[in-house]
A and B are shown apart, each in its own frame.
Chain A
Amino acid sequence: EAGVTQFPSHSVIEKGQTVTLRCDPISGHDNLYWYRRVMGKEIKFLLHFVKESKQDESGMPNNRFLAERTGGTYSTLKVQPAELEDSGVYFCASSEDPRQGGYGYTFGSGTRLTVV
């Protein structure tokens, strides 16, 4: 079974530019989560999709961030315009059954975003 796939694995962009991160969850997983670890700090929740609906977007930092999950399959996270403080590692996770251990999360390897 393929895991959670994220790309790009690394992205370096200039301040003010736009970047789109993509996450392909495990096939059949309705739950998709975005987290990020900024500047070596703790990993923080951004948002949670159930299929194509946003279940919880309380962690989205501001309106420069836009997440979508059209058709309930893959998800994109767009940052526009990017700022220096957006640098960090963005993780995606998917889950089929949150009643499993660890809520059944499988994390992707992350996208390392560097804004210069």
Chain B
Amino acid sequence: GESVGLHLPTLSVQEGDNSIINCAYSNSASDYFIWYKQESGKGPQFIIDIRSNMDKRQGQRVTVLLNKTVKHLSLQIAATQPGDSAVYFCAETYNTDKLIFGTGTRLQVFP
């Protein structure tokens, strides 16, 4: 899908609260989904992934939920910390290791 331009959607949360970042993906045939975290001046960093035969996967403080019916992916971060402040991207793939990224969401954590 096309981007929303220069201004990323921003989610502002207080330290200790839970964060939920959402992503709408484009291809109903996509079978593998990845969440990345990008901090300023760094490249995207792998957080967690999920395959299309699952609807939930948990990691350390993070959970990814997949709703294939509405082509929606979410990333939940528990007990959000200042170090979680970054831009978060979802990515989808279908039968290839070429990633199709979403626009990104900026997460700001306030003390």
Which chain A residues have a beta carbon within 8 Å of chain B's beta carbons?
Answer: 4, 31, 33, 35, 39-45, 48, 56, 58-59, 91, 93, 95, 98, 101-103, 105, 107-110
User: What distance in Å separates the Cβ of B44 from its nearest Cβ neighbour in chain A?
Assistant: 5
How far is it, in angstroms, between the C-alpha of A56 and the C-alpha of B100 when the chains are bound?
14
Partner of A56, one of B2, B98, B102: B98
- Smallest CB-CB separation from B45: which chain A residue? A107
How far is it, in angstroms, between the C-alpha of A103 and the C-alpha of B92 when the chains are bound?
12
For this complex, into which size category does the number of interface residues on chain B fall? 20 to 34
Residues of B contacting A45 in the complex (Cβ-Cβ under 8 angstroms) = 98-100
How far is it, in angstroms, between the C-alpha of A109 and the C-alpha of B42 when the chains are bound?
4
How far is it, in angstroms, between the C-alpha of A43 and the C-alpha of B93 when the chains are bound?
14
Q: List residues 18-71 of chain B with CB under 8 A from any CB of chain A.
A: 34, 36, 41-46, 49
Asked if residues A41 and B46 are in contact (CB atoms below 8 Å), the reply is: no
Asked if residues A40 and B6 are in contact (CB atoms below 8 Å), the reply is: yes
Q: Which 10 A-B pairs have the closest CB atoms?
A: A107-B43, A41-B3, A102-B46, A40-B6, A43-B101, A103-B97, A98-B97, A42-B101, A42-B103, A107-B44
B8 within 8 A of A: yes
- Smallest CB-CB separation from B100: which chain A residue? A45
User: What distance in Å separates the Cβ of A18 from its nearest Cβ neighbour in chain B?
Assistant: 24
7 more contacts with CB within 8 A, not counting A44-B101, A105-B46, A109-B42, are: A42-B101, A43-B44, A43-B99, A59-B98, A95-B97, A101-B49, A107-B43
Q: Which of A48, A59, A101 has the most CB of B within 10 A?
A: A101
Asked if residues A91 and B44 are in contact (CB atoms below 8 Å), the reply is: yes
